[in-house]
Amino acid sequence: MSTLDIARLPDAVAKIVAAAVPATVVLRVDRLGRLLEAHGDASTVKLSGLGTGKSVFSQLPMLEGSDLGDRNHWACIDNGAGHAVDVDTVPGELDDAWIVLVSVEDRRLAQQQQQLAANEARLMNQRQQKLVDQLVAARSELELRRREAEEALTDKTRFIASMSHEFRTPLTSVIGYAEWLSTALDDTAQRQSRAIVRAGRHMLSLVNNLLEQAQLETNQASARPDCIALRDLVEDIAAIMAPLAAEKGLAFAAFVDPQLPERLVIDEMRVRQILINLLGNAVKFTRTGSVQLNLSSQADQLHIEVADTGPGIAEDDKGRIFTAFKRLEGSQRQVGSGLGLHITLQLVKLLGGSIGLDSEIGRGTKFHVRLPYQDAPAEIPAAASEPAAATTGQHLLLAEDDPDLVQLLQLYLARAGYVLTIVDNGRDAVSEALARQPDLVLMDFNLPIVDGLSAACQLREKGYSGVVVALTGATLDDDRLQAVEAGFDGFIAKPIRMPELMATLQALLA
């Protein structure tokens, strides 16, 4: 095979060769495909055994059957030897033809790499799409599980709230009757009745803790600041805690800094629960010595300090003492549910405050709580600690289906001078209120036949313009909102504190 010389080639063939890469072979054959002459290096296109007079179809089988008298072009085909070539056939001037073979193996390899990359990209896209689909499915499943968990938490909160109501109604009777009897008994019986009151209030604090925990878990808790008499609150708490401390031989003292205002705006229920939890723990875990409560004002914050001479808390335990259901090792710290301090922490955060402690083993513990508050408006008068008796014989309609609570309320309301009409269901509450037009309707939420909320709505729709007060063990924020929307003017939570009830009635009827 001679060296490729473009000058010796026909113009049509020379143009193809000139435009091609260096690895080019040119064959001149007759119309039967027998080789007449060859130019170029046959090895560059993986050809061998070519000989003059021999058929090229044995080396180039892809050309067999084609008409060499026609001009043809095949791009990037296998030449039969596993090598990619561009093939052109050009008719000759005589009874011959020219075959131009241009090596395009590099191009084929590049195309294969491109195709491989494209295939891999497609596979990767498919895998990626599968992962995306799996992620979307996982997110959907997670969202479903999240909603189910939230619904379960909400259901649990509702269940606990319902059970709280069931506890609060009999607790009202237990505490109320014990308080009533304590005024008419001898000293020994009075001490016993006060013990019943303390036990009832302790049970109430446990119920409140469970309800608070459930509300906090579902983000249903919110602060409800109101104008309160701080010293009355402290006296109330001291009346609960001092006897508990005395039973264990502990000294109990409560101090309120004279610089604190008589009345301030803060969430009384949550502050009460914080004090009960901290003081309850202090009394519970202190064997000898004292428990002390100090309240002062520091940097426009209410500073609560609860100090005891109990066993103290180890340094390693301080970081987990506020964790729910965690109880410290040792007999002194394994009593209780492990919820009190956790709930206290959550309540402090809810009120925008902070809590910390100082403690040393064998030297007692001191808790510090700081809560923001506002001064009460000057025009709001302090509520009397003992309500005055009604003087006008005002007419009250009491709608309550618990007979023990009805009898208890009769005792207090009759002594206060109110005239009572009593019904035990919502349907009768509506009909009696419309017929008798009482000055005030005191109505439970959970009444038979027609519930209290529906009864209040009916009263307002039918034109009753008197005062309607909710009397209920339901204490969730949305319960209060529903009460307002239904037309209630006030909200008394069970167990009823009789001084609070009387003060509320007098304020609403003033």
Q: Is the peptide bond before 495 cis (omega within 30 degrees of 0)?
A: yes
pLDDT class for 243, splitting at 50, 70, 90?
A: confident
Higher pLDDT, 311 or 1: 311
* Of 314, 311, 304, the residue nearest 356 (C-alpha): 304
pLDDT over 90, % of the chain: 26
* Of 321, 292, 284, the residue nearest 308 (C-alpha): 292
pLDDT class for 4, splitting at 50, 70, 90?
A: low
Name the average pLDDT for the chain: 82
Query: What pLDDT is recorded for position 377?
Result: 72
Query: What pLDDT is recorded for position 20?
Result: 61
Query: What pLDDT is recorded for position 271?
Result: 92
Query: What pLDDT is recorded for position 249?
Result: 93
> Across the beta sheet with 490-493, what order do the strands follow?
419-423, 395-399, 440-444, 467-472, 490-493
First CA to last CA across the chain, in angstroms? 126
Residue-wise pLDDT tens digits, 409-440: 998 898 889 999 999 999 999 999 999 999 99
Query: What pLDDT is recorded for position 324?
Result: 57
Taking each helix axis as running N to C, give the angle between helix 230-247 and helix 268-285, from 0 to 180 degrees, rounded to the nearest 10: 20
Query: What pLDDT is recorded for position 278?
Result: 93
Q: Is the pLDDT of residue 354 over 80?
A: yes
Q: Is the pLDDT of residue 279 over 90?
A: yes
> Across the beta sheet with 263-266, what order do the strands follow?
226-229, 263-266, 374-375
Query: What pLDDT is recorded for position 299?
Result: 80
Sort residue 111 into left (φ over 0), alpha (ψ -120 to 50) or beta. Answer: alpha
CA–CA dist 229, 244 (Å, integer): 24
**Domain 6-103 in this protein, CATH class:** alpha beta
Query: CB within 8 A of 146, min separation 6: which ones?
Result: none
CA dihedral 58, 60, 61, 62 (to 10 degrees): -170
Grouping H, G, I as helix, E, B as strand and the rest as coil, residue 87 is strand
CA–CA dist 282, 284 (Å, integer): 5
Pick the CATH number of 224-375 from 3.40.50.720, 3.30.565.10, 3.90.1150.150, 3.40.1010.10: 3.30.565.10
Query: What pLDDT is recorded for position 380?
Result: 42
Query: What pLDDT is recorded for position 336?
Result: 47
Strand partners, 360: 364
Helix (H) / strand (E) containing 492: strand 490-493
Residue-wise pLDDT tens digits, 84-114: 888 888 888 888 888 888 888 888 888 888 8
Q: Is the pLDDT of residue 11 over 80?
A: no
pLDDT class for 252, splitting at 50, 70, 90?
A: very high
Residue-wise pLDDT tens digits, 370-403: 999 988 775 444 444 444 444 468 999 999 998 8
Residue-wise pLDDT tens digits, 281-294: 999 999 999 999 99
pLDDT class for 234, splitting at 50, 70, 90?
A: very high
Q: Is the pLDDT of residue 190 over 70?
A: yes
Query: What is the pairing mode between strands 96-103 and 84-91?
Result: antiparallel
Taking each helix axis as running N to C, give the angle between helix 477-486 and helix 452-461, from 0 to 180 degrees, rounded to the nearest 10: 30
Higher pLDDT, 319 or 457: 457
Average pLDDT over residues 39-66: 82
Residue-wise pLDDT tens digits, 12-27: 767 776 666 565 788 8
Instruction: For 246-349, list the strands marked E by DSSP.
Output: 251-256, 263-266, 290-298, 301-308
Q: What tokens were used for 39?
A: 């130019």
Question: With contact defined as beta carbons under 8 Å apart, do 453 and 461 qualify?
Answer: no
Query: What pLDDT is recorded for position 387?
Result: 46
Whether domain 395-509 has CATH 3.40.50.2300: the reply is yes
Q: What is the SS3 string spanning 141-204?
A: HHHHHHHHHHHHHHHHHHHHHHHHHHHHHHHHHHHHHHHHHHCCCCHHHHHHHHHHHHHHHHHH
Query: CB within 8 A of 125, min separation 6: which ones?
Result: none
Model pTM score: 0.54
Domain ranges of the chain: 6-103, 224-375, 395-509
How far is CA 337 from each of CA 210, 327, 364, rounded to the nearest angstrom?
Answer: 10, 8, 21
The full length of the chain comes to 510
